A and B are shown apart, each in its own frame.
Chain A
Amino acid sequence: MSAQKTRQPSTAVDPLVLQAVADVDLGLLRWSLQLSPRERLRACSHAAATFARLRRAASGVR
């Protein structure tokens, strides 16, 4: 993987959004960074498919 650019975003970000950065789960973030890019894609797709199945199941029992 190529080196990530390290510049700062030039767009102003809402102060409330900036405040919320302190609440980010760094453990989860670091877990994700340990995966390769394609592993991240697969984990994301697997989770999204699971959520879609759960939504379908939940709508079926209402």
Chain B
Amino acid sequence: MPHPASADLDALLAALAAAGVEHIVVGGAAAVLHGAPITTQDLDVVYRQTAENLDRLHALLADLDAFARDPAGRQLRPDRSHLEAGGVLLLNTRLGPFDPMAKLDDGRGFEELLAHSTVIDDEGLVLRVLDLPTLIEVKAAANRAKDRLVLPLLLALLAEQQGAAE
């Protein structure tokens, strides 16, 4: 049975939490968690690059039957050296597309982003998510068409949340 074309975000994040993989949710899923009414096909996370965490993530990827999204259709399995190398892995899993990365485009990894993240605890699932101002900064700096499309929504969301907090 082929892997799904879109991610089951809740199930993927629950699987990461259950496996004890330290990560920060970034990208579209972070926007959704903050309250942006958008859709996203995949889950992007920045993982912590410690030996133990790489082991946990590698084991989880095997459990999720992960392989690279390859235009040629080859089922290339990620190995631990790919996680150590620090690039972005574009994977298909049995829970949908999953893109773990060691660093954002701007070079910041888990340790640097930790101070720019917030913890969301909902129904027993504890998630560390890139905070909304930083998410806006990252998307403004990336300035791809898909980022420019979502930025007005994120800025309106920030204003709405600040209005509610005052």
**Which residues on A are within 8 Å of B, measured CB to CB?**
1-14, 17-18, 20-21, 23-24, 26, 28-33, 35-38, 40-42, 44-45, 47-49, 51-52, 55-56
Contacts and interface: CB of A to CB of B under 8 A. Distances in A.
Nearest to A30: B160
A37 to B, nearest CB: 4
A41 B10 contact: yes
Contacts of A37: 33, 120, 122, 127
Nearest to B6: A48
A29 B160 contact: yes
Nearest to B7: A45
B148 A14 contact: yes
Interface of B: 4-10, 13, 28-29, 32-41, 96, 118-123, 125, 127, 131-134, 136-137, 140-141, 143, 148, 151-153, 155-162, 165
B6 A21 contact: no
Contacts of B125: 38
Given A6-B165, A44-B40, A47-B39, A17 B155 contact: yes
A26 to B, nearest CB: 7
B136 A44 contact: no
Nearest to A18: B155
A35 B120 CA distance: 13
B162 A6 contact: yes
Contact of A32 (B13, B28, B37, B119): B37
Contacts of A41: 9-10, 13, 29, 32-33
Given A12-B140, A13-B151, A21-B155, A40 B33 contact: yes
B8 to A, nearest CB: 5
Given A2-B119, A23-B152, A44-B29, 19 more contacts: A3-B165, A4-B161, A6-B165, A9-B140, A17-B140, A17-B151, A24-B156, A26-B156, A28-B37, A29-B37, A29-B157, A32-B37, A35-B35, A38-B10, A38-B122, A40-B32, A45-B7, A45-B8, A45-B9
